[in-house]
Homo-oligomer: A and B are copies of this chain.
Amino acid sequence: MSPDRDRETDRTYLLRALALAAAGAARGEGGPFGALVVRVGAAERESPGEVVGEGCNRVVACNDPTAHAEIVAIRDACRRLGRFHLEDCVLYASSEPCPMCLAAACWARVQRIVYANPRAVAAAVGFCDDDLYCELSLPPAERRVPLEHLALPGADAPLRAWFADPARVRY
């Protein structure tokens, strides 16, 4: 496809992510965020793709602080495809992913991420994604949520046992 056609495809999917955002928030499921996972094939630009996962923010509906739209969409796609990697997929998000969702997309190995609203726009209506990026860049001792290391003898035994297991599945 041509670059113009690519951009048109991106716009189409982002509009759908924005529609999911609006609908989920109108139902009171959570914040105004939506996301899609689109399978585009091994060669990224070969087709406009197929939606294999989607979701809206459901933090409030599910009492689940991890139920951000991107996480919901990634879990949906992996469930439908029956695998834990999405190398052949693109993640579309109505707003810039928070660090949790960005890291989740990396673990899922999506090809790329496209979003519509920068984090500053979400911050203007009270979402703290930008603060969270700042928080995570601080040394552990300076964060609001302290992160403490406690050394224990033999703590690495589960890691070593896993590494020694020829049947281990890497992810």
Which residues of A approach B to under 8 Å, CB–CB?
A: 7, 10-11, 14-15, 18, 21-22, 25-26, 28, 30-34, 59-60, 63-66, 71, 74-75, 78-79, 81-86, 94-100, 102-118, 121-122, 124-126, 132, 135-137, 144-152, 155-163, 165, 167-171
**CB <8 Å contact, A145 and B64:** no
- With A106-B132, A156-B121 in contact, is A112–B170 under 8 Å at CB? no
- With A21-B158, A66-B107, A99-B102 already in contact, 15 other A-B pairs whose C-beta atoms are closer than 8 Å: A11-B150, A25-B158, A30-B171, A32-B159, A60-B169, A63-B79, A64-B75, A94-B158, A95-B159, A99-B99, A100-B107, A106-B145, A114-B149, A121-B159, A125-B160
Copies of this protein in the complex: 2
Q: Closest approach, in angstroms, between the C-beta of A49 and any C-beta of chain B? A: 15
**Bound CA span A169–B107, Å:** 30
With contacts A148-B115, A159-B117, A169-B28 known, is A84 near B65, CB below 8 A?
yes
Q: Are A112 and B146 in contact (CB under 8 A)?
A: yes
